[in-house]
Amino acid sequence: MGRESPFTLRAGAAGLVLLALAMSAPVTLRDSQVEPQISLPLNLGLNDGTYAPQGAIDALQTFDSRTSLRNYSLPENDQLREVIAELDGVSADHVFLHNGSGPILKLCIPHIIRTQIKSSVGRVLKHLTSKSGYPIITGSFTYSKVPKKAMGLGLKVEMIPLDPDKGFAFDVDRLDATLRKGDGLVYITNPNNPTGNVLITRDQLIPLLERYPGSRFWIDEAYVQYADPAEHAYISSLVSRFPNLLVSRTFSFAYGMAAVRIGYLLTQPELVREFWRQLTDYRIGTLQERMAIGALRDEQHLPWLRETCAAQRKLLREGLAEIGGIESFDSVTNFVFARFTDGRTGKMLADKLEERQILIKALEPFGPYSYEPYFRITLGLEHENRYLLRNIAEVLGAPIPSVAG
C-alpha cells in the first residue's frame, strides 16, 4: 500500500502548479481499491461519535459574524436544561450540566460516597476498619475509570462477573444478593462499555430501586441513544420518582460532539444545587448550548444513526469472522467488542496496528481479571472500517475479507 498525493499530475505549467501543491499538502493514504482517502493516524480506539446532527451544524452556522460570540450564556443554561428535561421526562431542576460526563463522574461519585459514609456511624466504622462503609458495585467488564479510581482511594469495589459465553448478561439476582448484605453505590454503564450490550432494563431496575432506598444507583447512559427506545426503554424519566437514582448522559457519542464537551447528570434538585455550588457559572458557553439544543431538536438524526451504525457493525463483524480466530459480540452501540480464540492477545493486535498509525482499544488487567484476548473497535466511516479490516488481516497473516474489498 503506497503513499501518494491526492492530486493528479498533468503535463505543462498546470502540472507544475499541481506538483507544488501536492508537495505542500498533508500526506494521506489512498488504498488500492480507489476509496476515499484515509487520514492517518486513524483513531478507532476512542468511542467518540462520528456524526453530529444537522441541527447542531445549522446552529453553528448562525454564528457567522465577528460579533456572534460576544455574549455569555445564562449562568445555569436554563434553555438547554429545559430542553433536556422535556425530552427525558424530568423537570429542569433535575438537570446538572458540565463539560462532559467524565468530569461529572469525577466530581459527583466521590461526593456521594463521602456523604453516604458519613450518614451512619456504622458505615464510618466499616470504612475506618475495612474501607467497606459504602462499596462500589459494578460489572467485571465496564468503564474502568470509576472502579479504578475507587480502588486507588482504597475503597472497596465489588465486581459482578459478566460471562462472555452468556453474552455478558448482567446477573441481576446476584446484584440483589450483594445489596442484601449492605448498601452501596451501584454503577452500571447501560448499554455497557466495552461489551456493547444492555445490562439492565427499566423493569429489572425498578424493584431494586424500591427494595434498597439506602443504595445509590448510577446508570451511565452515555451510549443509550444508540439503542432504539422501542426496544430498550430508557431509564431517565425514573429520576423524578426515585431519589436513589442518578442517570448520566453525554453529547460526545451518539450526537458526535466530543469537540464541544457537554455532559449532564439527572439527579435530585438538592444534589444539583450542591454540585453547582462547587463550580463556577457559565461553564457551557452560548455556542455549545445552541449546538446542543439544535442536536436535541433534530428528530431525524438518531433513527438515521442507528441504521448507519447497524450496517457498520455488521460489516466489521463479518470481516472479523472471515479473518478467523476472532469472536465478536452483539452490540447496540458505536463499537464492536471482540476476542481472539486462538491464544493471541488484543495488545498484540493493537501494537501491530499502531505501527501503521491505526489505533484500537486493548483492555488492561484490572483487579482479579485479565482481559488479554479482548479488544474493542470504534466504528469509523465505511471506508475506514474496510481499511481497518484489510490491515488487521495483513498484520495477522490472513486473507483479506471479502467485505473489505
pLDDT in tens, 92-110: 999 999 999 889 988 888 8
- Name the burial class of residue 405, with classes exposed (0-12), middle (13-18) and buried (19+) by CB atoms within 10 angstroms of its CB: exposed
The stretch 70-82 carries a mean pLDDT of: 95
pLDDT at 34: 61
The stretch 334-348 carries a mean pLDDT of: 97
Among residues of the chain, what percentage have pLDDT more than 90?
76
First to last CA, the chain: 14
Domain extents in the chain: 15-53+301-404, 54-297
pLDDT at 129: 82
113: cell is: 460516597
Residue 142 has, within 13 A of its CA and on its CB side, a CA count of 28
Q: What is the rounded average pLDDT for all residues in the chain?
A: 90
Cis ω for the linkage preceding 6 (within 30 of 0): no
The stretch 246-254 carries a mean pLDDT of: 97
Model confidence over 182-221: pLDDT tens digits?
999 999 999 999 999 999 999 999 999 999 999 999 999 9
Alpha-carbon span 277 to 313, nearest angstrom: 42
In this prediction, residue 131 has a pLDDT band, given cuts at 50, 70 and 90, of: confident
Which of 273, 164, 150 has the alpha carbon at shortest distance from 218? 150
**The pLDDT of residue 10 is above 90:** no
390: Cβ contacts below 8 Å, ≥ 6 apart: 31, 400, 401, 404
Alpha-carbon span 249 to 233, nearest angstrom: 15
Residue pair 195/141 in contact (Cβ under 8 Å)? The answer is: yes
Alpha-carbon span 328 to 330, nearest angstrom: 7
Residue 231 has, within 13 A of its CA and on its CB side, a CA count of 11
pLDDT at 239: 98
Residue pair 89/240 in contact (Cβ under 8 Å)? The answer is: yes
In this prediction, residue 364 has a pLDDT band, given cuts at 50, 70 and 90, of: confident
Q: For residue 278, what are the CA distances in angstroms to 71, 99, 329?
A: 24, 14, 41
**The pLDDT of residue 338 is above 50:** yes
- In terms of CATH architecture, what is 54-297? 3-Layer(aba) Sandwich (3.40)
Q: At 54, give phi and psi (nearest 5°).
A: -60, -30
Among residues of the chain, what percentage have pLDDT more than 70?
91
119: cell is: 450518614
pLDDT at 151: 80
**The pLDDT of residue 276 is above 70:** yes
173 or 369, greater pLDDT:
173
Q: For residue 338, what are the CA distances in angstroms to 176, 181, 321, 342, 355?
A: 29, 34, 10, 13, 21
Alpha-carbon span 274 to 280, nearest angstrom: 12
185: cell is: 453505590
Alpha-carbon span 188 to 219, nearest angstrom: 5
pLDDT at 126: 84
Alpha-carbon span 234 to 220, nearest angstrom: 11
Residue pair 196/329 in contact (Cβ under 8 Å)? The answer is: yes
Using the 8-state DSSP alphabet, how is residue 366 labeled? B
**Range of lowest pLDDT (138-152, 304-318, 326-340):** 138-152
pLDDT at 165: 93
The angle formed by the CA atoms of residues 164, 380 and 370, to the nearest 5 degrees, is 30
Count of CB atoms situated within 10 Å of the CB of 11: 7
The model's pTM is 0.88
Note the CATH number of domain 15-53+301-404. Answer: 3.90.1150.10
Residue with cell 424530568: 90
Residues in the chain: 405
